[in-house]
Each structure stands twice: as C-alpha cells, then as structure tokens.
Structure 1
Amino acid sequence: MDIDGRQIHLNCEGRGTPLVVLEAGADTSGAALWEPVQKQVAQFTRVCSYDRAGIMWSDPAKGRRDSLAIAEDLHKVLRAANERPPYVLVGASMGGPYVMTFTKRYGEEVAGMVLVDASHPEQTARLAQATGEPESDPIPFAFRALAAIAWTGLPRLVLPDAEVPELPSRTAEAITAYQPTSLAAAFAEAAVFEDSLREAGTLRTLGNLPLVVLSRGKPWSAFSEFEQTASGLTREQFNRAETAWASMQAEEAGWSSNSTHRVLEDSSHVIQLERPDAIIAAIKEVVEKVTHGDVSP
C-alpha cells in the first residue's frame, strides 16, 4: 500500500466490523508473528496486520520513528486501503504504547483494545529499580539487553537465523532473509524508545473502552538452566522484575473501567506464539462487546 511514495505491507483478511488491527512489538519479525492469530480472527471479523516502515516488506522512512510517526503511518495506510473504523487495536509488547498513541490522536476511531504483555510508560526506570541494574541506553536496552534475557522469549526473534517453530518454515525463512534491513528500522525505533513511551504515557484514561490485558506469568522454574543463566539475572532479581512487571500490567488494566486482566502462567513474553488462543479469545471478547454495545456506564 502506497503512502507518501512509500510501500507499506498491509495484510487484511475476513469480513465484518469492527476491524481488528494488529500492532507488532519491537523486533524484526513485523506482522509475521501474528500469523497464528490472524487466520483465526478472520473467521469472525475483518483483521489487518502490517509491517512498520523498514520492517520486512515495508519501505523505510526518513526522520524519527517514534510513536507519533508510527501512528500517523498506520492511520494513512488504513485510509489508503479503504479500511474504515471502528477499530479494535491489538498491541503486543512495544505495540502497546504504539496503539495508545494512535488512540490519543485518533480516539474517535477506536472502539476497543487488547494489550498483549504490553510495555508500560515507566518500565525502564521501574525494572531498573526492581533489579538493581542501571538503566541502559535506548538501543542496548531494547535489543542487546533483551536479547540476553532468555525468559522474555525474544532472543530467537532477534538472532541472525530466526528459530520460530510455531510458524511455517517459509515465514521463518522470510524473517531471517529480511533481518539485515529490518534491524536498521528496528534500531531507528529503539533510538527514540523512551520518547515513544513518554508520549504513550500521556494517555492513561480510556474511559469505558472495552479492554483486555494479557500478561505473561511463566515462573522462573519453567525456564531451563541455560535460559536462567543467559538471562543475566539471579532468581531473586527475576522475581523482583516480574513483580514490578505484574504491577505495571495491573495498572494498564486500570486504564479502562470496562477491562479484563488475565495472567497466563504458561506463557512468557511472546504470547502470539505460545498462547495465540488466549489472544484470539481476548479479541473475540472485545469485538463482541463493541458489536453489542456492552460498555460500562
């Protein structure tokens, strides 16, 4: 789809309203990770996923790649494709702040939201305080540090050869093939990571907007000895970090008076791959509330 002379890869399936829009997290896989979710959601409503500028099949963009630029791009590409609101926005990880920024700018078009272990505006400082580790610069924080923390499930998504057994081999091969170019775009987003969090944090009241928050809950004992060692955290630090994360997730659920919060004890951060059924159920719940006008006063 062409916007401002750039091609943005947009994939829409299914029929119906509201339109579900899937926003990926801060890695190099783009819309590909939504594959297990999108096919099923398309059975009960229309759903679109896309690759942000420079990720996978989308052309790169000039200038800052902060949440404001990303929200504007998404709005333009949906309009260019004649995809109309109301939208149910689904944001995973850093996709959470991106959909919050979109809602701040285009709130009249947003009818519901699902946050999938979404980043919190204050997560950098609060996780650093919890673990006793110093805050990192944006790029190391978003990539080098996360790649070293095996318990998030992110390492396999940022390594040179993507290992994603939950996806078809052709999809994993495409992720690997596009990583050299996708990394540049991902680092451009990471360079303004904190700015994007701050911008998203200016909206923390969604009124009675239907909201489901899904959070990871896999305990330390569920990870292998290798993953525990590779995380760079002691068990005590891990537990403190997870307590801080759980607190922030609960806060996110409190942003709407019409929310549901589910902690998935059998999933780490990449819920799209480990528990796609939970995301599908959450989306269906929000879509049904929007369709039937089931909102709290």
Structure 2
Amino acid sequence: MATSTTIDWNGDSTSSLVSIGTRKLFLRAQGPPRLLGQPVVVVEAGIGDDHRTWTAVSALISKHSRVYTYDRAGANNSRSYPGPDPRTASAMAADLSSLLAAAEVPGPYVIACHSYGGLIAREFLALRGEEVVGMVFVDTNSENTRREVPLPMEAFGAVAKGLDYYQIVGLDRDHKLDPGLWKSIKGDSGASEQEHHGEEISFRELREKRQFERRAMGDRPVVVIRGDTPRDFRAFSDVAVEKGNGSEEDREKMLRFVEALDEKDEGLQREQLLLSSRSRFVQAEKSGHNVQITEPELVAAEIEKVLKEIRG
C-alpha cells in the first residue's frame, strides 16, 4: 500500500490507510482521474462486511468512472483501529465523512450501499446534504425493517448452529469473485459484533430524521435494487428443519419470520423510493440478499445509469 500522504486521491488508483484523527481507515480508489466537479461513486458495505464484497462491482465501474471503497473501523484492513462501541450508523457515517475530508475527496457523490449500509448511507446524506447527487440501494434495510419484521436472534442462532450459510443460500456457487478472494471474504470481517450493538439505536435515529416524509433527495436520482432475501432465509430454515436444529419453538419462530418477510420485504424496499421524486425500482432475478456478489453486472449498470443521468 502507498503512504496516504503521498497519494492524489482524485487521480491515483491505489489504496492506503488514511488517518481520521485517533484512528485510521483503509481506502481504495479506482478508475480514471477525476475532472473538477465530476461525480464519484462511494460504496458502503453491509453490516460486518468490508470493501472486498464490492470488488466485482467496483472493477466494472472503474472502467469508466471513479469509485471509492473502504473498510469501516474495526473491519478487515482497518481492524487495528476499532473505534467506539456500540457503533451506530450515524457514527459510521461521520467516519466516512471524515475519511473523504482527510483524503481531500469532495462531492458530488453517488452513494452505492448494501443491506445495513443503507442506514449508514442515509446518515451520510443527513450529514452532507446536497453533495449526495445520487443513491443506489442494493437490497438495503430501512428504518422500518426491524420494526416491521423483527429477526428472532436467539432462535436464528439456535437453528443456524453448524450450518454453512454460504453454501445453503448458493453464494459458494453463484458468486462472481476470484476464488481466492471469495475464500478470504467468507466469515466475519472483524467489526460485526460492534456494529450489531448499535443497530437498535441506529434504526431509531434514522426514523427521527423523517427522510421519507421530507423527500430528502428531492429530485436527485435514486435506484432501489431488490434481491430475494426471503429466499435465503427460507432455504436456511428448510435445512434447519431437516437437520432438527434448535427447538421446535425456535424453528416455528423462524418460519413465522420468513412468512412475514415474504409478505413485507418488497414493500419495505419500495418505501425507499419516497426519498426522491426521481426514483425507480429494479428487481434482481437471480440473487438472494447479496446482489452485489452474484449479479455485479446489474448493480454496476444501474450505478452507471445514475452517473449518466447526473452528467446529462
């Protein structure tokens, strides 16, 4: 890795740890040098994930546009700098804001995000306002997800014991990444526990901002890409039942959760369209929750459409 102080983050394609005061975060820049005022893509991974889960998408985007991926405090290359615990989405958004400032990468930004990263991205929107000129949500959570469809964590832990999530939901088969990279990604990036500690506070804090009611993105483009998360949980629950994992009560709780998610997930995804008067919904046809890993071409194409729309 290069030394962050010698890098032109708006021109070089490279990676380094960048100091944001008491901590350092890993940042990767890819793509052609940036022209003054040109929008760039900034990626926010899901809970417990890091920049590697977006490798295939960022490789495609970087052929034509500048893209920045990073590891949050405590994750992967940023693991030595854990930061506060519990870690809320607003705290992580503040870290991202500080990182971009330290690297001297100003807006305008197109934010692409996955899963719980949707909350972080929207907290970043709350911080940086008009600098966010487009957003692409990839099977993301919203402030209402856990309230409408609460995941029974104890039951899930019981039925999941000893099961291989990646194999059951098809990620081992369907991922579009280098095999060595995929092997390194499987498992916990290092920050999952701390990030989970801040979930409940994060959902509440985002609800209080009332971004849907205010149409926080105005008429700036927003894309909501939905995967099929219920499919993943259904496959997991079926295997758990087959193997007799957990108690009968645990398995029943998971069944009720999957049924509720099947009923409400699309509506919760579509609710994010309210952020802008210029929004559209895309259904991924081949993916469960991790669309950026299994259909990177789809995600990259939607990001490029947003960039073209902004550039006119």
Q: Which residue of structure 1 aligns with residue 292 of structure 2?
A: 272
Q: Which residue of structure 2 aligns with residue 192 of structure 1?
A: 198
Q: Pick the aligned partner of 1:155 from 145, 153, 165.
A: 165
User: Could you tell me whether the CA contact under 8 Å between 2:39 and 2:307 is conserved in 1?
Assistant: yes
Relative to structure 1, is the Cα distance of residues 78 and 123 closer, same or farther in structure 2, using a 3 angstrom cutoff?
Answer: same
Report the Cα offset of residue 189 of structure 1.
1.1
Q: Pick the aligned partner of 2:275 from 235, 246, 255.
A: 255
Q: Pick the aligned partner of 2:123 from 101, 105, 108.
A: 101
Q: Give the aligned residue type for 2:303.
A: I
TM-score with structure 2 length normalisation?
0.76
Mapped to 1, the partners of 2:134 and 2:51 lie a distance apart of: 20
Cα deviation 1:202-234 (Å, max 9, x = unaligned): 2222211210000014775x9996763338577
Q: Which residue of structure 1 aligns with residue 97 of structure 2?
A: 75
Mapped to 2, the partners of 1:147 and 1:106 lie a distance apart of: 39
Q: Which residue of structure 2 aligns with residue 52 of structure 1?
A: 72
CA RMSD of superposed structures (Å): 3.0
Mapped to 2, the partners of 1:219 and 1:120 lie a distance apart of: 16
Relative to structure 1, is the Cα distance of residues 223 and 57 closer, same or farther in structure 2, using a 3 angstrom cutoff?
Answer: closer
Q: Which residue of structure 2 aligns with residue 228 of structure 1?
A: 238
Q: Give the aligned residue type for 2:31.
A: G
Q: Which residue of structure 2 aligns with residue 40 of structure 1?
A: 60
Q: Which residue of structure 1 aligns with residue 107 of structure 2?
A: 85
Q: Pick the aligned partner of 2:31 from 14, 18, 26.
A: 14
Q: How many residues align?
A: 269
Q: Which residue of structure 1 aligns with residue 15 of structure 2?
A: none
Q: Pick the aligned partner of 2:227 from 207, 211, 216.
A: 216
Q: How does 1:131-170 map to 2 (within 5 A)?
A: 136=152, 144=157, 155-156=165-166, 166-170=176-180
Mapped to 2, the partners of 1:282 and 1:225 lie a distance apart of: 28
Mapped to 1, the partners of 2:66 and 2:158 lie a distance apart of: 36
Query: Residue 242 in 1 paired to residue 262 in 2?
Result: yes
Structure 1, 230-239 or 269-278: larger mean CA deviation: 230-239
Relative to structure 1, is the Cα distance of residues 155 and 174 closer, same or farther in structure 2, using a 3 angstrom cutoff?
Answer: same
Query: Residue 26 in 1 paired to residue 36 in 2?
Result: no
Mapped to 2, the partners of 1:107 and 1:207 lie a distance apart of: 10
Relative to structure 1, is the Cα distance of residues 11 and 242 closer, same or farther in structure 2, using a 3 angstrom cutoff?
Answer: same
Q: Pick the aligned partner of 1:65 from 71, 80, 87.
A: 87
Q: Give the aligned residue type for 2:62.
A: A
SS at match of 1:111: strand
Q: Which has the larger radius of gyration?
A: 2
Structure 1, 163-172 or 114-123: larger mean CA deviation: 163-172
User: Could you tell me whether the CA contact under 8 Å between 2:42 and 2:111 is conserved in 1?
Assistant: yes
Report the Cα offset of residue 236 of structure 1.
7.4
Relative to structure 1, is the Cα distance of residues 219 and 120 closer, same or farther in structure 2, using a 3 angstrom cutoff?
Answer: closer
SS at match of 2:112: strand
Q: How does 1:167-182 map to 2 (within 5 A)?
A: 167-175=177-185, 179=188, 182=189
TM-score with structure 1 length normalisation?
0.80
Gap regions ≥5 residues in structure 1: 129-134, 293-297
Mapped to 2, the partners of 1:127 and 1:146 lie a distance apart of: 18
Structure 1, 60-69 or 259-268: larger mean CA deviation: 60-69
User: Could you tell me whether the CA contact under 8 Å between 1:146 and 1:155 is conserved in 2?
Assistant: no
Relative to structure 1, is the Cα distance of residues 186 and 223 closer, same or farther in structure 2, using a 3 angstrom cutoff?
Answer: closer
Gap regions ≥5 residues in structure 2: 1-17, 242-250
Mapped to 2, the partners of 1:229 and 1:207 lie a distance apart of: 44
